[in-house]
Structure 1
């Protein structure tokens, strides 16, 4: 099944995005993970923004795990604030917890370092802070 491309308008600019769900193991527990990809007005020829999100940990959290437009807006704004150049042709700008986690805020999600299906995720900075 192909991921559906969606559009979002922020400050008069159009961004195209998609999200794909999967799960990863973090400290022995299965967590919902979401790949978010976004492009500027140049479409897939423009510089791509990549962000991997984990569902936020915590008791009694219902993990429906698909990002809302507000969550994707937070990803795009964090990317723009961190140096993503959507008008640039080609290339990829990766948001990671290690470098950009302090600037990311979306209820229900936290930015993580890139994770692929079937891999175990390293604890993110946020989880280390909660454990320590």
Structure 2
């Protein structure tokens, strides 16, 4: 299956991005996770990567396949702007700038997503408690 690349203009720069649906296992269920990759100066430029954990809850086992949460263009724009403010250099050749839960998770989130390291590092923090906490905070608002 071919991966669809999308374009977005921010100021004078055009960014190309893709989002792949994946999943991560937590202690209590399966969570939908979207791997977002963005390029700002061609395919050989430094890529931006963010693994976005859906905060849809309560979710039965297997919800990663039925959860329809997907990043909107506004979500992608927010990720790009945050990354540019925190060290991403899209004009740099090669490599990947990763927005990690460990470094950025306490200050960056989106209405429907949290950053997660679980997709890259299976032994990282269990996402279930964070998803439940985010869901409860949304209910209080």
TM-score norm. by structure 1 comes to 0.82
1:22 paired residue number? 22
Instruction: Identify which of 89, 100, 107 aligns with 2:104.
Output: 100
User: Which is further off, 98-107 or 18-27?
Assistant: 98-107
Q: What RMSD in Å do the two structures reach over aligned CA positions?
A: 2.5
> Are 1:77 and 2:59 an aligned pair?
no
CA distance in structure 2 between the partners assigned to 1:128 and 1:107 by the alignment: 12
Structure 2: gaps spanning 5 or more residues: 60-65, 135-141
Greater strand proportion: 1
> Are 1:3 and 2:3 an aligned pair?
yes
Output aligned runs, 1:28-67, within 5 Å: 28-40=28-40, 42-59=41-58, 63-67=67-71
Structure 1: gaps spanning 5 or more residues: none
CA distance in structure 1 between the partners assigned to 2:92 and 2:118 by the alignment: 22
Query: How far off is 1:122 after superposition?
Result: 2.6
Query: How far off is 1:123 after superposition?
Result: 2.4
The runs of at least 4 consecutive aligned structure 1 residues that moved more than 3 Å come to 57-60, 128-131
SS at match of 2:105: helix
SS at match of 1:70: helix
Q: Deviations over 1:84-127 (max 9, x none)?
A: 000111111011111011332311111111505xx576325x81
Query: How far off is 1:56 after superposition?
Result: 1.1
Query: How far off is 1:75 after superposition?
Result: 1.4
Q: Decide whether aligned partners of structure 1 residues 46 and 17 sit closer, same or farther in structure 2, where only a CA change above 3 A counts.
A: same
Q: Decide whether aligned partners of structure 1 residues 114 and 7 sit closer, same or farther in structure 2, where only a CA change above 3 A counts.
A: farther
SS at match of 1:45: coil
Query: Size of the alignment, in residue pairs?
Result: 126
